[in-house]
Amino acid sequence: MRRSCVSAAARALMALVNFDGIPGPTHNYAGLARGNLAAERNARRVSNPRAAALQGLAKARALAARGHGQAVLPPHERPNIPALRALGFAGTDGEIVVRAQSEAPQLLAACSSAAAMWAANAATVSPSIDTADGRVHLTPANLTSHFHRSIEAATTTRVLRAIFADPQHFVVHDPLPAAAQFGDEGAANHIRFMPEPGKPGVELFVYGRAAYDADAPAPRKWPARQTREASMAIARRHGLDATSTLFVQQNPGPSMPACFTTTSSPSATGRRCCAMKQRGSISSRRFDSCARNSAKSLRLSSCHRRP
């Protein structure tokens, strides 16, 4: 597949923008995410949504003050009344909330979750310099591994299409099919290595299991939220160069508790790139060069190039 043709003038105008999510007023500690030890250990503690939102804004303001491009993704409407209606609760919005709290408090907590604050799970993004058509491609994550996250996908898609509305420069795809075989956690399982800003990079996708390979290793204790099939589908729809796209499996052994994401950083440059200690057979020279200049942070069990 050919690399996109992006002019030197266009490259000069390229900028990195950091997007942060903001906790909404129903932020709560319900311990909904199995395998997330922080969520499990803080379950049922008292939350402070206002303080959490102010902390998020302070972090965003600090980055902006240092000259970084900074934007904020709005919190989703919660409780998610349409989701509660779909689960059989009827009446006015207020009556639905009261009944859910009485009959199924965990469902109300799930439908009130402010987990959309985690922008790393919003979408996978490929910059125009890496794609075949020279546009920025975004795939909102379906987050099928947990109900409270899966209800974010539709709103996230609408938000991203409102922000990245110019079809000449952006493509916001639909989320992948909401099935276990295509579980997708967004940018939390994706990182991009680049030699310098404005240059084509290597896009690395990390997955936990292969849904259609019964012989492939898979974690026995901790949930694998990202599938190889999902990562490969995203690479295809984004039009990525097969020679600069890697798929690696996270170490499925028992020594990796609750490590269900790879990183929250969307890109890495030179000596600042995130290092991966690889225990597989296939690699790329560009990936190896980047990894040699880095410190070890992950152990990976296998590595594949996109066919």
Q: Is residue 296 part of a domain?
A: yes
Q: Which pLDDT score is estimated for 12?
A: 55
Tell me, what's the pLDDT at 42?
78
Task: Identify the CATH number of the domain in which residue 215 sits.
Answer: 3.75.10.20
Domain that holds residue 242: 8-16+118-305
Q: What is the pLDDT of residue 271?
A: 37
Long-range Cβ contact pairs of 216-223 (< 8 A, separation 24 or more)? 216/249, 217/249, 217/252, 217/301, 217/302, 218/252, 219/252, 219/253, 219/256, 220/252, 220/254, 221/254, 221/257, 222/35, 222/256, 222/257, 222/258, 222/259, 222/260, 223/34, 223/35, 223/145, 223/260
- Provide the pLDDT for residue 8: 56
What was the pLDDT predicted at 4?
53
Flag whether 50 is in a domain: no
Residue 83, domain member (yes or no): no
Per-residue pLDDT at 306: 56
SS3 286: helix
Q: Is-cis flag, bond preceding 266, omega within 30?
A: no
Q: Please report the pLDDT score of residue 43 as a whole number.
A: 79
Give pLDDT < 50 ranges for the chain.
1-2, 255, 257-260, 262-266, 268-284, 286-287, 290-301
What is the model's pLDDT at position 6? 58
pLDDT at site 38: 75
Contact 201, 194 (CB under 8 A): yes
Q: How many domains does the chain have?
A: 1
Whether 106 maps to a domain, the answer reads no
Q: Is residue 284 part of a domain?
A: yes
